[in-house]
Amino acid sequence: MTRINPGSTIGIMGGGQLGRMLALAAANLGYRCHIFCPDERSPAFQVAHDVTIADYSDEKALTAFAQSVDVATYEFENVPALTAEIVSRETLLRPGARALQVSQDRLHEKDFLTESGVKTAPYVAFESEAELQEAIKKIGRPAVAKTRRFGYDGKGQVMIKNRADIDKVLDVTGGAPAILEGFVNFDREISVVVARSASGDVAAFPVGENVHSNHVLDTTDVPAQINDMVEAKAKVMATRIANSLEYVGVMGVEMFVNDGAGEIIVNEIAPRVHNSGHWTIEGAETSQFEQHIRAICDLPLGPTDARGRVHMKNLLGKEILEFDKYLADPKAHYHHYGKQDPRPGRKMGHVTWVNADED
Ligand code: AMP
């Protein structure tokens, strides 16, 4: 195992808020960060030691970036396979290419989860109208159609309840490879943020309970309203997934829970720090961002215990402008990602409360 000591340089592909919070955590441990991102207004650039503004297909820029760092990582799962390969030629890439390959394609992801012994919603792949009709016969209704690649926050998805919905599916998928999933009648959505270090140590954070609004994460609460058995089972599943991938870094595993049966169904995995883990910055003994840096540098993983009851709320669009309200609240920890344009629905920041009053 290669240990990367403080004082070294970490390369991060992607310059969004996740890259920014990773760079801040890395700086606290004495690392420098070099961020690679095509967008010159990237929030992570504001807090980094070095930046490269270039396209993910720019082999020369990628090679120079990789040669300037001691280990490279990423903050988004759609890093192209060729980009990962170019970087891997010159430096350590953690997590590795396999995590990207599995999580970039919903069919590969579901196949991998099933092989790992983890339950998913029933699914069938389709492309054409005829294949969609066959898939509906097998899965039944209601069902959810999702493009295999590049879907996030509900994009590229159609819920199929009635016949009229079927007509919408191919408009959304555009004939691109897709899957049809059975609709899961869940009681709650949870996620496990789990870390696995280069030496193979694994540590999961307490399970978070997530509420989405318009397919975008709105709030995360810890502890989740689940019993100890479900909590333990969720962590075991996330650990199994991380071990099966020989994963290095922090990963988010999204799950659906059926309270009555105590059943857990894995929805998807994100090979990166996760929005539902932002609560750990003030709410846990180690933040998910520091944990990711520890994991990829092969330092000992930090303790994951919660510091009490925690509530995290995303600030979307103009909500970021209500800072006076949050700054006047002694229990609120306000985070602004440094983005200029508060477009509706855009993730601009978040607020975390630890052990605040119930109301
Ligand atoms: P995804 O893009 O797969 O994370 O899906 C976004 C959201 O859509 C999830 O967080 C769920 O709230 C909902 N959803 C996705 N797939 C299903 C499903 N098979 N059954 C029920 N709800 C789903």
Question: What structural domains does the chain harbor?
Answer: 9-93 (3.40.50.20), 122-182 (3.30.1490.20), 188-354 (3.30.470.20)
Answer whether 267 contacts ligand 1 (Cβ < 6 A): yes
Instruction: Give residue 99's pLDDT.
Output: 96
Q: Rounded to an integer, what distance in angstroms lies between the CA atom of residue 275 and that of residue 126?
A: 30
The one-character DSSP state at 120 is -
Question: Quick one: average pLDDT of 166-182?
Answer: 89
Q: Is the pLDDT confidence value at 103 over 90?
A: yes
- The pLDDT of residue 172: 85
Instruction: From the CA of 267, give the closest atom in ligand 1.
Output: 3
> For the ranges 49-53, 55-59, 165-169, 296-300, which has the lowest average pLDDT?
165-169
Residue located nearest, by CA, to atom 5 of ligand 1: 154
Residue nearest to atom 9 of ligand 1 (CA): 215
Structure tokens at 71: 């280990």
Give the residue from 101, 72, 80, 100 showing the smallest Cα distance to 293. 72
Q: Is 212 in the pocket of ligand 1 (CB under 6 A)?
A: yes
Question: Any idea how long the chain is?
Answer: 359
Q: Is 292 helix (H, G, I), strand (E, B) or coil?
A: helix
Q: Which of 12, 15, 14 is nearest to 338 (CA)?
A: 15
Q: Is the CB of residue 168 below 6 angstroms from any atom belonging to ligand 1?
A: no
Task: State the pLDDT at residue 280.
Answer: 98
Pocket probe for ligand 1: among 152, 267, 274, 314, the residue whose CB has the most ligand atoms within 8 Å is: 267
Looking from the CA of residue 157, the nearest atom of ligand 1 is 2
